[in-house]
Amino acid sequence: MDPPVIPGVTLADGATMPALGLGTWHMGESASRRRHEVAALRAGIARGFTLIDTAEMYGDGGAEEVVAEALDGARDRCFVVSKVLPQHASARGVVAACERSLARLRIDRLDLYLLHWRGHIPLAETIGAFEGLRRDGRILRWGVSNFDTGDVEELLALPDGRHCAANQVLYHLGERGIEWALADLCGRHGIAIIAYSPFDEGRLLAHRALASIAARIHATPAQVALAWLIARNVIAIPKAAKVRHVDENAAAAALQLSDATLAEIDDAFPPPSHATPLAVI
């Protein structure tokens, strides 16, 4: 069977980023699970999931090592994202952290490098380091994670802030706060939204209304949750540490939600009616 056609999201520089990828949070934490994690990622790549998201924080670098094994022989067709911790986000620290991530991943460049969340180091210093890595070809583009509306506005006011390619945030059917202002702000400035924990760490999949909607359209709750994000031009990175989860998620790429289904989803999971602080995990 041919792998699903994963739709793409066009970034500000014209590159296309897959709208559905493979998350690796909590991978690389257990030697006993490593073989299964690598197998799941390899299965995902074979099925057309060429976006892989990781971070130096995940498993203290262990997730990046898992990704390295999965990427063996497939690097050129994959879009690899990693993240730098805020305590490493100084001018020298970013460069050193990036080199460590590249070494663990066994690759020579990152397609996207994100500041994991804001810390005490000035944004201008971090962005300057990102720009240096971009000029040197160690990263192709950079972005941020867990940035709320005010953070993005501050970022955009900086000289090179317009080069921000993406903002990775908590976003799923049960947590739609970014729709009040943040999503629109990012959209107006060409900053792609990447949704982490699209299943709310599994809690969303047990929601009765979502299960009912999914059953009616002959899909699973996970597939509906992902298809909803894809329909909103959002990039979703569910963790799939088992091959069966990869197969289930892959079917979401072809799932088209009707206007009636989207309205039913809005009834069950209403959009925000007022501004709220950005939710994080």
Task: Pick the closest to residue 169 from 178, 161, 158, 159 (CA basis).
Answer: 178
Asked whether the beta carbons of 6 and 236 are under 8 A apart, the reply is no
Tokens 């069950």 correspond to 268
| 58 is a catalytic site residue | yes
Tokens 């069977």 correspond to 1
Phi and psi at residue 141, to the nearest 5°: -160, 165
Q: Which of 58, 113, 171, 196 is catalytic?
A: 58
Q: Which two tokens stand for residue 243?
A: 């091959």
Asked whether the beta carbons of 142 and 13 are under 8 A apart, the reply is no
Beta bridge partners of 52: 22, 80
Between CA 222 and CA 52 the distance in angstroms is 18
Q: Which two tokens stand for residue 103?
A: 């070494």
Phi and psi at residue 196, to the nearest 5°: -95, 160
DSSP H helical ranges for the chain: 31-46, 62-71, 91-105, 123-135, 149-156, 182-188, 208-216, 221-231, 243-250, 259-268
> Cα 215 from chain centroid?
27
* Residue positions annotated with a catalytic role: 58
